[in-house]
């Protein structure tokens, strides 16, 4: 702090020091990593399209692809590439899963968010978080080894690997994630709303049904959409619990096969570049686009609640 | 004193947040080794003014500075290495910020960043700066505890010590006494009087009497405009050009 | 004086009813899982032994241990972390410290959400197309780990960004005022105070990566290998895939074997997860400012 260092040539503020260059370099590096997510998501689309392109150009009949229920891509003489039954399989399992998951997820979210406080709330949240962590292959194994015999016994049906089994499994898988997001949405409703309603003499459940739920509507819808997306994209659990037979289900006791599971089961047996290989990648493109759309919608819906 | 070198030359500076002006057409110069007081009620644009001087506007969204600011005759808008510029201009804002580092590192950080690695040299700087900020006696036995866990008043003195550690040519203080008790305020005021021989000090204060005690010259800001600048003594003797200045000094509004 | 009216009484009854209903739902959601965990321990607990954990499978995987699968999973997770943690933390730093509020940032956020939402089997297809075929890594630990890394990148980014943003802006301002560059500020003040939160996210990622199956099926994990991998260009067995294999692909497996594998897998995942949660709670209790 001695006087004398105050005489500093003004070009000091023009001279770029090592620290200045390091700073600029790091900024560039962080930026590149920052946009890596964009690069990756585009790469995913590009690479699966490259692998599926040959099939899309030469063999794909879009009409047949979406409307035919015959799936026999490995047939050497007359391969059939209809994914209608697979879509039906995915849709039925996801649909049942939502029927199971939505009430439980919302109910649990309301219980945690509105009726629990302090330690109880914390431990319930931790428990939900742990449920969400159970790997899908373990869920599949549970469907296979625990749910399967249980369903056969309880409902007296010949096969326990079916829509019911996979739907329940998938519902249990999706519920924790939906609970977390729904609970966030409830928490985002300002306490002043609740206080205002309670000041007017409304009871707790009136406050929840008339004030909190409508206010959190968008966030809850977002939670449901993300649950649907998750169910749609789930692979191992549906591969192991659906029974894996190409079939348009007529009851919840029918075995089905999902889009994702088809890829998982058949990719290993195909030759790279063959039409069968190509059609699996084409299903991949379809799955990518559908989940992209679901996630985009969910994001827009949830963002809507933040703005409003 | 009137022949002293001009340290900061501010020409026709306006500051906008979007379309809203915070400061309009301020022109003034601040001389080497003076304490330049800035007084005025809230929202007079005093803090924005300080931010413009060390180019913190680039970290504030929406903030736009027009006009010219010369530091040692050098146009700060042209600086390509603004970090070097900023290290010459220290600033203490009203809310104290003890960084979540040890007390020692809080003060040693700036010297370290400027390249000083010698432990003994750093020790000397840390002790001197803490002593000047009237904090050394209280913390000398726990230099390794977190600076962010000190009391508000201690954190403010730590902030001042940190600002001194970079050996600035200009030290800007923005209502530093808000978080400090009166006794400590007086101690720091004494330190500022001493520091005047080493650096130029800009003292933004909401306490009119503090400006009277310390400042050589004082500017009165009101609603984004610099109403008048004058020798502090004369100003407090009532020799003002504008009635509102006198009203403010006498506490008729504020 | 404050007599409770009939309506109020009825309202309170309804409220109690709803509270019980919601509690039942919570219990019903959690109960099956607790039951399943109990079942896994009951049926698979007996097979767990040091020998089971540290020896090779024998007799066409119908007997013996699961060491190569555990070993392989550790490899896969470690290589995946090596890639995703630096990129993820840097991306989080960009988003928290540099990114302006503009369209590009919104697209980045959308990309992160989608990266997390794309089905795992689509990630597998990407891994096959990009790493196995295009970059020529073949089916190898490298290809599988890169696929896992990209898939779990959002976990690291989101957790890191959150803990970086928890560091108050005032600390950055104080550093900038001293003439510190943005990077010096990040390195000396922001990052050291966010590192524990980032670590929590990394542990969470380890747990996620450990359980993933579909992405590694065709990119690097093998049903059965008689030897341990020597480098990242080798294939490997993996615990998650091993569970799939012994429970669906191999005939004549004794019942307790897949239960044992499932138990080990879920134990690894849940222990990691609990660790992450416990760590987070510990940090929340520890005040630094």
In a domain, B214, yes or no: yes
Q: If you average pLDDT over every residue of chain B, what do you get? A: 90
Flag whether B142 is in a domain.
Answer: no
Whether C70 and C180 map to the same domain: the answer is yes
For A33-68, letters b (16+ CB in 10 Å) and e give bbbbbbebbebbbebbbebbebbbeebbeeeebeee
- The rounded mean pLDDT for chain A is 90
Please indicate, yes or no, if residue C253 is contained in any of the structural domains. Answer: no
The b/e string for B19-28 (b: 16+ C-beta within 10 A; e otherwise) is: eebbbbebeb
pLDDT for residue C70: 95
d(CA C242, CA C230): 19
Q: Which residues contact A70 (CB under 8 A, 6 or more apart)?
A: A80, A82, A85
Summarised one tens digit per residue, pLDDT across range B85-115 is 898 999 998 888 899 999 999 999 999 998 8
Determine, yes or no, domain membership for B73: yes
Between helices C120-127 and A259-266, what is the axis angle to 10°?
A: 40
Q: What is the ipTM of this complex?
A: 0.90
Which member of B79, B128, B164 has the closest CB to residue A13? B79
In angstroms, the CA A9 to CA A19 distance is 19
Using the beta-carbon criterion (under 8 Å), do B97 and C173 form an inter-chain contact? yes
Report the domain count for chain C.
2
- Chain C residues lying within 8 Å of B103, measured CB to CB: none
Q: Domain residues for B42?
A: 6-94+168-249
Q: How far is A167 from chain B (nearest CA, A)?
A: 50
Paired sense of beta strands B6-17 and B89-92, if any? unpaired
Q: Identify all chain C residues contacting A103, using CB atoms and an 8 Å cutoff.
A: 25
Mean per-residue pLDDT, B172-181 = 88
Q: How far is A31 from chain B (nearest CA, A)?
A: 18
Nearest residue on chain B to C178, judged by CA atoms?
A: B87
Which pTM was predicted? 0.90
CATH number of the domain enclosing C103: 1.10.3720.10
- Identify whether residues C133 and C205 lie together within a single domain: yes
Chain B residues at the C interface, defined by Cβ less than 8 Å, are 54, 56, 59, 61, 83-88, 90-91, 93, 95, 97-101, 109-110, 113-114, 146, 148-149, 159, 162-163, 165-166
Order the strands of the B20-31 sheet from edge to edge. Answer: B20-31, B6-17, B63-71, B74-75
- DSSP for C260-284? HHHHHHHHHHHHHHHHHHHHHHHHH
Classify residue B22: in a domain, yes or no: yes
Q: By C-alpha distance, which of A130, A308, A165 is closest to A237? A: A165
Q: Chain C residues with CB inside 8 Å of A134's CB? A: 33, 211, 266, 269-270
Domain membership of residue B126 (yes or no) is: no
User: pLDDT tens digits, residue range C231-245?
Assistant: 999 999 999 999 999
pLDDT of residue C136: 95
Question: Shortest Cα distance from B91 to chain C (angstroms)?
Answer: 7
pLDDT-derived band at B31, boundaries 50, 70, 90: very high
State whether C22 and C70 are in the same domain: no
- Note the pLDDT of residue C2: 53
Instruction: Decide if C105 is inside a domain.
Output: yes
Please tell me whether residues C23 and C130 are part of one structural domain: no
Q: Report the residue of chain A nearest B125, measured CA to CA.
A: A1
Q: Are C76 and C168 members of one domain?
A: yes
Residues of chain C falling short of pLDDT 50:
1
Q: Is C195 found in the same domain as C70?
A: yes
Please say if the pLDDT value at position A115 is more than 60.
yes
Instruction: State how many domains chain B has.
Output: 1
Contact between chains at A8 and B88 (C-beta distance less than 8 A): yes
Q: At what angle do helices A36-58 and C103-117 cross, to 10 degrees?
A: 60
CATH number of the domain enclosing B232: 3.40.50.300
For residue C98, the distance in angstroms to the closest alpha carbon of chain B comes to 10
Give the per-residue pLDDT at C60. 83
Q: Is the pLDDT of residue A304 over 70?
A: no
Q: Euclidean distance between the first and final Cα of chain A, in Å?
A: 54
CA distance C197 to C13: 44
Mutate to test the interface with A, among C22, C89, C260 (most CBs of A within 10 A): C22
Mean pLDDT for A148-153 is: 95
- Domain co-membership, C154 together with C192: yes
Domain span at C145: 66-239
Predicted local distance difference test score (pLDDT) of residue A14:
76
Cα separation, C116 vs A223, in Å, equals 15
Min Cα separation B77/chain C (Å): 16
Which residue is closest to C130 within chain A, CA to CA?
A: A47
- Band (A7; pLDDT cuts 50, 70, 90): very low
Rounded Cα distance between A173 and A139, Å, is 8
Q: Which domains does chain A have, with CATH numbers?
A: 88-259 (1.10.3720.10)
3-state secondary structure of B249: helix
What pLDDT, on a 0 to 100 scale, did the predictor assign at position C36? 87
C144 near C76, Cβ under 8 Å? Answer: yes
Q: Are strands B225-231 and C63-64 parallel, antiparallel or unpaired?
A: unpaired
Contacts of A262 in chain C (CB under 8 A): none
C287 touches chain B (CB under 8 A): yes
């Amino acid at each position: 702090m001695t006087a004398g260092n105050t005489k500093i040539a003004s070009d000091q503020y023009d001279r770029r020091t090592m620290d200045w260059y390091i700073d600029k370099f790091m900024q560039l590096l962080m930026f590149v990593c920052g946009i890596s997510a964009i690069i990756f998501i585009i790469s995913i689309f590009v690479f699966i399209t490259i692998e599926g392109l040959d099939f899309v150009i030469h063999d794909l009949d879009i009409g047949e692809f979406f409307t035919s229920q015959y799936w026999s891509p490995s047939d050497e003489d007359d391969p059939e590439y209809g994914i209608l039954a697979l879509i039906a399989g995915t849709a039925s399992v996801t649909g049942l899963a939502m029927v199971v998951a939505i009430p439980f997820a919302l109910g649990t979210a309301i219980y945690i968010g509105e009726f629990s406080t302090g330690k109880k709330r914390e431990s319930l949240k931790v428990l939900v978080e742990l449920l969400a962590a159970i790997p899908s292959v373990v869920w599949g194994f549970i469907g296979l080894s625990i749910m399967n015999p249980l369903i056969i016994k309880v409902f007296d049906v010949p096969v326990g690997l079916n829509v019911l089994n996979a739907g329940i499994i998938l519902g249990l898988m999706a519920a924790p994630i939906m609970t977390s997001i729904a609970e966030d949405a409830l928490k985002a409703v300002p306490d002043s709303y609740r206080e205002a309603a309670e000041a007017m003499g409304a009871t707790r459940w009136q406050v929840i049904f008339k004030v909190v739920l409508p206010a959190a509507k968008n966030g809850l819808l977002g939670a449901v959409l993300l649950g649907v997306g998750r169910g749609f994209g789930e692979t191992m659990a549906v591969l192991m619990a659906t029974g894996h037979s190409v079939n348009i289900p007529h009851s919840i006791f029918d075995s089905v096969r999902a889009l994702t599971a088809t890829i998982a089961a058949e990719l290993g047996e195909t030759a790279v570049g063959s039409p069968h290989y190509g059609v699996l990648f084409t299903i991949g493109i379809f799955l990518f686009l559908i989940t992209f759309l679901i996630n985009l919608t969910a994001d827009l819906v949830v963002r809507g609640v933040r703005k409003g | 004193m009137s022949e002293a070198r001009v340290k900061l030359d501010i020409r026709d500076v306006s500051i906008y947040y979007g379309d809203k002006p915070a400061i309009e057409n301020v022109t003034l110069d601040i001389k080497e080794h003076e304490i330049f007081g800035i007084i005025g009620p809230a929202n007079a644009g005093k803090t924005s003014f300080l931010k413009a001087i060390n180019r913190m506007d680039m970290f504030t969204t929406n903030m736009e500075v027009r006009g010219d600011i010369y530091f040692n005759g050098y146009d700060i808008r042209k600086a390509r290495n603004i970090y070097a510029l900023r290290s010459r201009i220290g600033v203490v804002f009203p809310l104290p910020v003890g960084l979540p580092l040890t007390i020692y590192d809080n003060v040693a950080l700036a010297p370290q960043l400027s390249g000083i690695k010698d432990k003994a040299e750093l020790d000397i700087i840390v002790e001197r700066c803490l002593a000047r900020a009237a904090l050394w006696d209280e913390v000398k036995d726990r230099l390794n505890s977190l600076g962010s866990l000190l009391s508000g008043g201690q954190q403010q003195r730590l902030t001042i010590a940190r600002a001194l550690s970079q050996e600035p040519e200009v030290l800007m203080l923005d209502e530093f006494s808000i978080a400090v008790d009166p006794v400590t305020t007086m101690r720091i005021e004494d330190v500022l009087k001493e520091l005047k021989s080493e650096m130029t000090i800009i003292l933004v204060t909401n306490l009119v009497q503090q400006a009277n005690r310390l400042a050589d010259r004082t500017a009165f800001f009101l609603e984004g405009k610099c109403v008048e600048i004058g020798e502090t003594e004369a100003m407090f003797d009532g020799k003002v050009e504008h009635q509102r200045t006198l009203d403010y000094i006498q506490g008729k509004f504020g | 004086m404050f007599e409770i009216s009939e309506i109020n009484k009825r309202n309170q009854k309804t409220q109690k009813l709803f509270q019980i209903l919601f509690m039942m739902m919570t219990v019903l959601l959690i109960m099956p899982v607790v039951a399943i965990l109990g079942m896994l321990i009951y049926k698979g607990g007996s097979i767990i032994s040091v020998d089971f954990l540290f020896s090779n499978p024998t007799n066409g995987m119908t007997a013996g241990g699961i060491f190569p699968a555990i070993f392989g999973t550790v490899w896969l997770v470690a290589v995946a972390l090596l890639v995703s943690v630096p990129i993820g933390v840097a991306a989080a730093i960009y988003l928290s410290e540099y990114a302006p509020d503009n369209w590009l940032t919104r697209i980045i956020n959308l990309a992160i959400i989608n990266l997390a939402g794309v089905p795992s089997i689509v990630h597998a297809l990407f891994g096959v197309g990009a790493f196995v075929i295009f970059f020529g890594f073949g089916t190898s630990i490298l290809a599988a780990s890169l696929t896992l890394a990209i898939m779990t990148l959002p976990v690291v980014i989101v957790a890191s960004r959150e803990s970086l943003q928890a560091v108050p802006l005032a600390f950055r301002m104080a550093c900038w005022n001293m003439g510190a560059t943005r990077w010096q500020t990040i390195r000396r003040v922001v990052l050291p105070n966010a590192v524990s939160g980032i670590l929590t996210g990394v542990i969470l990622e380890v747990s996620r990566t450990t359980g993933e199956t579909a992405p590694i099926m065709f990119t690097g994990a093998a049903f059965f290998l008689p030897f341990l991998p020597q480098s990242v260009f080798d294939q490997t067995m993996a615990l998650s895939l091993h569970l799939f294999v012994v429970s669906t692909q191999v005939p004549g497996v004794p019942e307790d074997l897949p239960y044992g594998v499932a138990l080990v897998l879920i134990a690894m995942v849940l222990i990691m997860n609990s660790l992450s949660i416990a760590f987070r709670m510990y940090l929340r209790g520890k005040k630094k400012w």
